[in-house]
Amino acid sequence: MTIYYTKDHEWLSVEGDVATVGITDFAQGQLGDIVFVEIPAAGTQFVQGGEAAVVESVKAASDVYAPVSGQVTEGNQKLEEDPSLVNSDPEGEGWFFKIFLSDNHQLNGLMGAEEYKAYCESQ
């Protein structure tokens, strides 16, 4: 399992041809208390960089972008009942959706953990 990060503060954990996607701890910290999450339905197709989900906090609403192109295989239904999972475990139980990768080469343009940490420190 390999973990990648985007400049929009999404993370994806890749296992085979399927990636689990969510927002990073940095992102949830910037948003504050999450009160609502809109997740995509299974079967939804995304192009890399397209709007994939919505997260709302007491401070603001923000789009979550698809870090890679592909088809959603599953949305995290737990977030509809308990959106605070994004705050308490953003890179674990607070994941948003799983996507079947249509182009593994897109992963080459994403950051690893050390590169992402440096990116956040420069913000």
Fold (CATH) for 2-105: OB fold (Dihydrolipoamide Acetyltransferase, E2P) (2.40.50)
d(CA 80, CA 93): 13
Res. 22 pLDDT band, cuts 50 70 90: very high
Tell if the pTM clears 0.75, that is, is over it.
yes
d(CA 85, CA 43): 24
What digits encode the pLDDT tens for the residues 36-77?
A: 999 999 999 999 999 999 999 998 899 999 999 999 999 999
Q: Which helix (H) or strand (E) holds 83?
A: none
Domain extents in the chain: 2-105
